[in-house]
Structure 1
């Protein structure tokens, strides 16, 4: 997949202490998925949902035609397989549906041998199955991308080899722009006739990919500084999806799709082996924050946990916020800023990935004082992207009174759209369009409260 994630606001994250080295014997998987249960494991997999428009990249950056859902019609466990099914149906304004699953915030790794036994659909003219990885740090293309398997390329269609041509690729940032390298191979049989084993080996020198033992992609990555390849020496997470149409297939309208539908991508198992001393493995469920009160920006005692600014969290001022002197609501520090009229303003608290799933059904609480009548937004960034709640003068303000006095604001997490509390990356954000007059904001005592 050539381009998948973009954020309207600056984003950078470091997994830092959440990662630990995980050397293992080469014949023993350090992590695996066998899909032997009755449902998709939500502690390992989550979904991208929609068309991408909700995060500013309609068509997921590739002019794809499907609407991704988390419905069992499009993604399920069946007969020991993960089934990803693309369907021709009108859904939320799109002519097709399918699914895209990922392990973001749940399973990340650096270096190792990754194997998967997959049976792809008959791609015909328009289906695009993909098994790939994205870097867990940064924004595309800075985060890096490793495409282990893609089938259905426009050139393969033109050559009558759509169901035999398999490709691999990498994408990264070089000199401030998007760089990529890809290779293809024409397999001697139709790929959808049977399960195939796709293997990626990734170490500090090379990324190599093979199908049933036949290598079809290689990228040397040891020249980190000269070729600007830092992305490929950082942890990545997995993605599995079945797209319909898009730039890879060369088809941008529903009438051009002649592939047999419904089409199913079957994943029998996935196994990760690691034996390099610099390998890393992060399992998000192993580091869930306990329930209670979690201090995002608070000096209270008796918290279940708290961010440590300068070590595992940073406050980033994005634009047009000048610090001003002010007494805190509690403790010794407070956020106190003035924004100039006529220019947007915003800030965010950046962390490593945080598993805040114990706080589902709970509340974001903070104290705030202001007199502005301007509209602003309070947000949280998770693996699903940015999610915002609007504060409009005269509308619902969740306890805020704009009288210049401190008031407790309490926003149920249910008020945020598409929030993945298993993988929180920015625990608190404020943003606003250009105000008509100068704005002063004072924020303190930010907490996550479990039910």
Structure 2
């Protein structure tokens, strides 16, 4: 889905031959046939906004839509998922649409992913995509696989926009962005009917076909030499319909001439097992209600993080460890921050399904005298969500007197929190203090209702 270009490293050969391998002979491990009354929240979540909230206005591609979770933009209709782009002012953008993803719900490494999709009339300005992102790292180091994109500028220019599709991969190569992409012109218009797009991913190759006709192949077995680690780690699926952007070459609302509303329809998506496949399904890994230990040694918990195994503590800026007696056990997060610079830290973990904790609270013990404004946050599939502690204020049980106090923040105080897909269960960021300050944090856990 990302169209930026930096380094192009070619390791693949495009094969214009028909595939003979049948997905039906493999073991089905995950699917959505979109037969329910509404989009299944245990399988899908949404990206919402225009990208500015994560520092990528236009989603990094100059796109002109505001993604929503409204039924006007994404819904089940006649046994199909419908993603609809509309020309309407919303959230400061001239168009709306939707972007769905399985982040925190379904991730996989290797497999055969099959989707039956009908694209809209794309020329000029619509950009339907069926693609994947890695669960680890920062783009492009997390890796991206794009089995299908349509509406590209080159196809608009030569009059094949509604028959031409592209596939691509993006990754990090020696600290720079690397890309490989190909395109294919279908004999008939893609918007006239549904077509089956199949991704086959194994330790040697990534291959993509439409209706059995292969149009993309990329070799990934040279892991070290080509720096292809990203394509041997778990990825999640995305479906979206963008409006405009660098991929389409359409950069102004007036230049969007594709019929609107435009609909991308998905009949089904099915994942089949390949040798070496790994599958994560969030509903199968739900943490039981009770207490979930984030940084605690003595709290009675249903489950807890284990640092060095499934969690790491990162000091982001301006923090130096200091000696401090823990509130409990033998470990404590205790630091000094110098004057004049912001400070912050975060705990990152594997994905955790903490849906059972909705209605509960984040609890921790804090010892500090800092008068600075700071905020405590949680990162989920929806992005960062924060609760502010204003300068000198004592909210949620905080007392800035240099003694230990329990802070209890109800999850309802966090904006836009997806507890089914928690990636960073605890973060703290503070404004630059006027003088050096010390802060200690201990006994951090989630409490269910």
Distance in 2, Cα, partners of 1:351 & 1:304: 16
The answer (yes or no) to whether the contact 1:35–1:268 under 8 Å persists in 2 is yes
Distance in 2, Cα, partners of 1:211 & 1:433: 52
Match of 2:291 among 254, 278, 293: 293
Summarize the alignment of residues 33-432 of structure 1 with structure 2, pairs less than 5 Å apart.
Answer: 33-276=32-275, 278-395=276-393, 397-432=395-430
Distance in 2, Cα, partners of 1:361 & 1:257: 44
1:25 Cα deviation from its structure 2 partner: 8.7
1:434 Cα deviation from its structure 2 partner: 2.4
* SS, match of residue 443 in structure 2: strand
Distance in 2, Cα, partners of 1:70 & 1:282: 24
Distance in 1, Cα, partners of 2:146 & 2:394: 45
Distance in 1, Cα, partners of 2:189 & 2:231: 31
The answer (yes or no) to whether the contact 2:394–2:400 under 8 Å persists in 1 is no
Distance in 2, Cα, partners of 1:439 & 1:53: 32
Distance in 2, Cα, partners of 1:235 & 1:350: 17
Distance in 1, Cα, partners of 2:194 & 2:107: 25
Aligned to 2:19: none
TM-score, normalisation: structure 1: 0.93
The answer (yes or no) to whether the contact 1:25–1:275 under 8 Å persists in 2 is no
1:397 Cα deviation from its structure 2 partner: 2.1
TM-score, normalisation: structure 2: 0.94
- Note the residue ranges of structure 1 that are not aligned, 5 or more in a row: 5-23
1:250 Cα deviation from its structure 2 partner: 0.8
* SS, match of residue 39 in structure 2: coil
1:32-65: CA deviation from partner (whole Å, max 9, x where unpaired): 1111111111011000000011111111111110
Runs of 4+ in 1 over 4 A off after TM superposition: none
1:302 Cα deviation from its structure 2 partner: 2.5
1:241-283: CA deviation from partner (whole Å, max 9, x where unpaired): 000011111111111111100011110011111131x111111
1:285 Cα deviation from its structure 2 partner: 0.9
Distance in 2, Cα, partners of 1:318 & 1:92: 31
- Note the residue ranges of structure 2 that are not aligned, 5 or more in a row: 5-22
1:323 Cα deviation from its structure 2 partner: 1.0
The answer (yes or no) to whether the contact 1:339–1:439 under 8 Å persists in 2 is yes
1:403 Cα deviation from its structure 2 partner: 1.1
The answer (yes or no) to whether the contact 2:80–2:268 under 8 Å persists in 1 is yes
1:396 Cα deviation from its structure 2 partner: 5.9
Aligned to 1:31: 30
- Cα distance change, pair 3–338 in 1 and its aligned pair in 2 (3 A): farther
Matched residue pairs, number?
Answer: 431
* SS, match of residue 353 in structure 1: coil
- Cα distance change, pair 396–99 in 1 and its aligned pair in 2 (3 A): farther
* SS, match of residue 358 in structure 1: helix
